[in-house]
Amino acid sequence: MLVSRAQQVRDSVEHSDPVYGLRIGVEIAHPIVHLLKDSGYSMEVLADYPVGKKAFVEMHLGSERAYRPTTRFDFTAQGKYLLLGYRRNLFDNFKGQHHEVYMGLYYGIAAFHDVLHRYTIGNESDYFGSVTYEPGRKYASLQAHWLSYRTGVRAEVLPRFFLELGVGLSKLIYRTSLDNFEHFYIPGFGKVYPGYWGVNYYYTLSYSLPLKFSRK
Amino acid sequence: MKYRLLIIVLIAVFAVRCERNDICEEGVDASLLKLGFFDASQPDSTMRVSSLYVWAAMKDSLYVDAETDSIALPLDPGANHVRFFVSDSLHVDTLDVFYDKSPYFVSEACGFIHEYKIQNQTQVTAHWIQAMQITDSTITHENIHIHLYH
């Protein structure tokens, strides 16, 4: 059997990229953590759409209330947030596969308020002991903007059903200044670390809607 | 090459998570009232007390048989007035300190401290201490706040 040189070099398996369209899902890591710690709630829905053969644009909308106790003070941060992002798939899918190993960049905005429940001045072991204030002070109309780099894996575990596990590194680029307080947790961003960095892990379930799109 | 970027990000994630920010350094709480002992006949020179006792009502002693020309006393964060007893071991004088306080946020680890301001009603009896002067009413300043002349 004679085969040309060109034909011998080709793979016998075809490579292909997603032909799925709009996909919607929910984030479940944060809601579960809040449930387990009884520290509030989190609801986040997401949607993404393919751009070309190896990329997606993505949007998240969320609402979170987080109660954060520390040794010296307790507060609650509550509000809504929006994320817009673009991610690229590094994984070479075989025909019919729709898995992802992705890297993406996101821009996040949150509108929220803080309530400072109580704080303690001094220690019990001091000469005069300590005193605890319970001001219930509300810091309203707060805003935060951030950039987030996320990477992870999104696998099609059942036809059209995807499971994603990812980590993200975020940096706060704007936050409303507070009078005599600081930002330590922002809905959507998470815990604020020194230098206004954030680190998160994500666990999402999504479903690719069986809508017919004509091939372009 | 793209996986190298991933490694860098994972290292950055660990770096952020591992940075300790939960320790409050000593000395952040500069909330001690500093008093200096001076010579009544020569008001600019300090004059040591050879056997000093200081305590607050119904509390342990802060100074016992101390030889010093300056002392640092804590203020009660839960009140606006503290009464100290100051003795040269022969006589006892009563020092009533009145102050305003306002909470001030320092950091995540330290939380809040008070900024104290000494009020003019602060006074001392005159058994062995002859005079008193408030030289700096802001307690967060590091210098002597009250001069006591004996």
Rounded CA separation A157/A51 (Å): 22
| Neighbour tally for B63: CB within 10 Å | 18
What per-residue confidence (pLDDT) applies to A216? Answer: 45
Cβ distance of A169 and B104 shorter than 8 Å? no
**To 5 degrees, how large is the angle CA A29–CA B9–CA A157?**
40
A126 contact residues in B (CB cutoff 8 A) = 74, 77
The yes-or-no verdict on residue A105 having pLDDT over 90 is yes
Q: Tell me the nearest-neighbour CA distance from A167 into chain B, angstroms.
A: 8
Cβ distance of A193 and B21 shorter than 8 Å? yes
**To 5 degrees, how large is the angle CA A91–CA A95–CA A98?**
50
pLDDT, tens only, A43-69: 999 999 999 889 999 999 999 999 999
pLDDT, tens only, A73-93: 999 999 999 999 999 999 988
Q: Which of A119, A151, A194 sits opposite B111 (nearest CB)?
A: A119
The yes-or-no verdict on residue A215 having pLDDT over 60 is no
pTM: 0.84
CA Rg value for chain B: 22
The yes-or-no verdict on residue B26 having pLDDT over 70 is no
A127-166 as b/e, with b when 16 or more CB fall inside 10 Å?
A: eeeebebeeeeebeebebebebbbbbebebeeeeebbbeb
Across B43-53, average pLDDT: 90
Contact A184, B3 (CB under 8 A): no
At A17, is the pLDDT very low, low, confident or very high (cuts 50, 70, 90)? very low
A178: alpha, beta or left? (left if phi > 0; alpha if psi -120 to 50): beta
| Neighbour tally for B6: CB within 10 Å | 15
Cβ distance of A127 and B74 shorter than 8 Å? yes
B60 contact residues in A (CB cutoff 8 A) = 127
Sole residue written with tokens 């905005």: A109
Residue of A68, A123, A128 to mutate when probing chain B, most B C-beta within 10 A: A128
The yes-or-no verdict on residue A20 having pLDDT over 90 is no
Cβ distance of A70 and B108 shorter than 8 Å? yes
What per-residue confidence (pLDDT) applies to A13? Answer: 58
Which residues neighbour A20 within 8 Å (Cβ) at sequence distance 6 or greater?
A: A50, A98, A160, A208
| Chain A CA closest to residue B8 | A169
